[in-house]
Amino acid sequence: MSLSSAKVAPEEEEEEEPPREAGKEPGSASEWRGSEAGREAGPEAASESRSQLRAEPGSPPPQPWASSQGLEPELRWASGQRAEPAPEWQQPAGSVSEPAVSKKPRCHTNCLEAPLSRAFQRLGWEVGSHPWVFLLLPIVLTALLGSGLIYLPKDAEEDIEEQYTPIGSPAKAERRFVQGHFTANDSYYFSFSRKSTEVNYAFVLAVSNSASLLEQETLSEIDRLDEAVRALSATGENGTQIQYNEVCSMSGGYCTPSNPLLFAWKTNRNLNLRNITFPAYILAGRTIYLASLLGGTVLGESLGSSRLLLQAKAMRLGYFLKTEGEDNQRSKTWLIDFLNQVKNLEKSLALETIQVVYFTSLSRQLEFEATSKTVIPLFHLAYLLIIIFAVISCYRCDCVRNKMCVAAFGVISAALAVVSVFGLMLYIGVPFVTIVANSPFLILGVGVDDMFIMISAWQKTNIVDNLKERMSDVYSKVAVSITITTVTNVLAFYTGIMTSFRSLQYFCIYTGTTLLFCYFYNITCFGAFMALDGKREMICLRWLKKPETPDQKCLSLKKSCCLPCNSLSEEHADDIHPMNLFFRDYFGPFLTRPEAKFFVVLLYTLYLILSIYGCFQVQEGLDLRNLASDDSYITPYFNVEEEYFSTYGPRVMVIVTGALDYWDRDAREKLEDCLADFENSNYVDKNLTEFWLREYVQFMESHHRNVNDRDNFLNNIPDFIMDFPLFGYDINISSSHEIICSRAFIQTIGISSSTDKKLMLLQFRDLARKCEIPLMVYNHAFIYFDQYTAILENTVRNVIVASTAMFIVSLLLIPHPLCSLWVTLAIASVIVGVTGFMAFWNVNLDSVSMINLVICIGFSFDFSAHISYAFVSSSNPSVNQKTIEALYLLGHPMLQSAVSTIIGVCVLSAAKAYIFRTFFKIMFLVMVFGAAHGLIFIPVFLTFF
């Protein structure tokens, strides 16, 4: 974000003067103009001419654009030069010389600034000489690159797992192991917990309107709902009907029951519902795990490892479909039809005793893809608001200097950059993901800042000077300013490419490259338009100065280009914006009063306390429900699930990854010890562990067979699997009758929060590493849980790298120790503040907010670097005067930059999706806290040193 706008200093401030009496103003700026011959000869000749003039003390001072030594104070910060008081021959009569203490040696560090300024000076001359070339070439380039938008995906699926989970996460490696060593058959005996990946399914949660659904009437209504869902059919691609029983997962030759307890009740309507135990219920000699099937339970007395079930508020109905081969697509077709018909199904059934919410394995993907469409109407509003702001900011009653059209074109220039980069990225194959839709809003706010700087520098040139000279002057002044702010912001974005989340990598590539194009278009296309408008100024000036002619109609037509006003200010009048006067005459003096300083210190202390407290309250990880819009049907589903089914989490595989002599008693004891460590965890219900080896030992003992004999152990496994077919999926036996690997299942509890999920995952993996036997833990939900462990590490790493890059830039381009110190402290303070207040605004530390924290480093650098360097470069002897001068020079452009960025993203606050609102919230915090540091905190703290 470019903040070093010179839109503030009057022409008499271009060379620092000693304090003067109130009401006294320096001589006319027209006295500082060089020879006409020097202006016509070109920038180099003009610069040489002015250098010669400066060498003679008796001659008039040169134009400030002639060299980097003549930069105005607010634009001179990047050169490392300290503004000095004017020499005696340049001071007005009667002025008092600056005290000797203020005459400090300059810090000559313009090895980067000087050649850059000269190069821009030459570029400005060329733009002023050939404006139509520099205007049309970028537009043609935009047309060519913009054609790449034809590759913009319309209905293509965006893989949420691929884009929003960490690259190379441990869970993905664990999944590959499970897929390579264990199988599951959807058409024979289906087991949801034994699948290595998420299957095709539809979940329906039935919530009782009464205290409990364990009543005959309520169960009858749930049964009607279940039968209606099973009766749904979908139309396939070739027009054939797809029935549920054709695509459902099978168990024992029948579709897997949607709920075993409901199935038992349907089979036996006289089932005694008062004898049901929870979380495990033994029915017909088989154990049914009800932990994930019933929610909102009220339990009674203990019966063994379970307790008597008194009440249950909610029931889960699960409809699992085949995922193998050609059946996968047919299953998805049925699920889409289910989503289209389920609302009408509810109405037709006229349900009275239950409320219904639903979710499918496709819902998250479909709803997430729909969120990007919700922000498309906001693009037009954002552009309109930015254009209005730019026009108002650049409005002048002076009909000649008015820059409304130029400001509007500056916004168009930023739009051209967006079109060019998006087309280019799509051409070279960089995926367009949903989060990239945030980029144009940010570019709108940030990309127009350089425009404000160039307009400000233009308005400080003399209106009667040669056009090419004025353009050269403008470019030499803004060279370092817009370059350094572009470099810092682009560095901040490109640092984000280091993150482990692909979606953020693509967002940073798109946005960082767009900022580079904004910079390129500003110094070419926008500069050319400004030069053409400069020609309008010259023509208008001549027309308005001409005596009235007989052809009043023709003259009126010509004057129409000079609207909105037909008045002309004095030729050499200062163009000082009222906001600059506000910071100099009101805000600055008020802020430097002792009582104001005390209040600022108190306010900052409160800010820091709240920020640090909030940092410890921030939740980590992206809640998957937030990938959908607010009015999506999945939101009430997750709310019900969180309210009634949050006690029990997923069933986790504990996998023995290597060969083990299971028939050896010592080996079994070591394995049992390790499994006991898991069961003793606070995140595990020890009564719900499912392990084939324990059941097999009981099976062998009940058949009076020696479990410690290798041959007996291996030869009886087939008989055991005949009785317990699901355990056949848990044992991997090679062709040589060796057990390669096997697995057990533990039931997790108490992991409803992201913090608990992260701690559980870390604890389980740590227990697996400590075991003497090689173990691994896995559940397909771990693919998403891994973000909780990666997000903090990624954030800290990216923040450190970006901060280091900003620090190096500050040393290279603004090499003052005190300035670099304040830049570092301000960056740290803003990051802490944004992170802390995220918690108060219900924003998680996730893959979306993480990149905003990295971005805020670049923005906070701009705020802090400009104000601190303006302070240390001031020649005023008093720290209060230094602060007032810094605010006078930079207060308005800093405020202008913050407001423009906020306006650019504010429309996202109206979005119905968390992913876009979060972007607005973080950017709002960044701009508010960054501006507060630049305009309030740092100016006051600098007066203490």
Q: What is the mean pLDDT of each run of 10 residues along the chain (945 residues)?
A: 39 37 36 37 42 37 34 38 38 38 44 79 92 94 92 73 85 92 81 86 94 91 94 86 91 88 89 87 83 91 85 94 86 93 88 93 84 74 80 70 81 91 93 84 79 80 84 84 81 85 90 92 92 83 58 50 50 61 91 94 95 88 74 90 91 94 93 95 92 94 91 92 90 87 94 88 95 94 87 83 79 69 84 90 81 75 78 84 88 83 84 82 89 92 84
Spatial distance between the Cα atoms of 736 and 455, rounded to a whole number of angstroms: 81
Q: In this structure, what token pair is assigned to residue 577?
A: 């914006």
- The rounded distance, in Å, linking the Cα atoms of 847 and 794 is 9
Using an 8 Å Cβ cutoff, are 674 and 774 in contact?
no
Exposure string of 433-450, with b = 16+ CB inside 10 Å and e = fewer, is: bbbbbbbbbbbbbbbbbb
Residues 6+ apart with CB under 8 A from 742: 655, 656, 660, 662, 692, 693, 730, 731, 732
Rounded to the nearest 10 degrees, how much is the dihedral formed by the CA atoms of 938, 939, 940, 945? Answer: 80
- If DSSP codes are grouped into helix, strand and coil, which group holds residue 943? coil
Helices marked H in 466-526 — which ranges? 467-495, 502-521
Tokens read off for 852: 């905003």
Between helices 782-813 and 170-181, what is the axis angle to 10°?
150
- C-beta separation of 867 from 890 below 8 A: yes
- Rounded Cα distance, 453 and 13, in Å: 17
Burial of 854 by CB count in 10 Å (0-12 exposed, 13-18 middle, 19+ buried)?
buried
Distance CA 224, CA 317 (A): 12
As a whole number of angstroms, the distance between CA 64 and CA 511 comes to 35
| Integer Cα distance of 717 and 509 in angstroms | 56
pTM of the predicted structure, to 2 decimals: 0.75
pLDDT at position 562? 54
Query: Using CA atoms, how far apart are residues 878 and 312, in angstroms rounded to an integer?
Result: 74
- Is residue 457 within 8 A of residue 478, CB to CB? The reply is yes
pLDDT at 16: 37
Nearest to 757 by CA among 922, 917, 624: 624
Q: What radius of gyration, in Å, describes the C-alpha atoms of the chain? A: 36
Question: Half-sphere exposure of residue 613, counting CA atoms within 13 Å on the CB side?
Answer: 7
* pLDDT (0 to 100) of residue 36: 37
What the block records as the tokens of 265 is: 């009740």
Number of H helices, E strands in the chain: 34, 18
Confidence at residue 577, expressed as pLDDT on a 0 to 100 scale: 67
| Residue whose entry in the numeric block shows the structure tokens 């729909």 | 370
Distance CA 75, CA 284 (A): 85
Are the C-beta atoms of residues 467 and 538 closer than 8 Å to each other? yes
Distance CA 915, CA 927 (A): 19
pLDDT of residue 663: 93
Tokens 């403008």 -> residue: 474
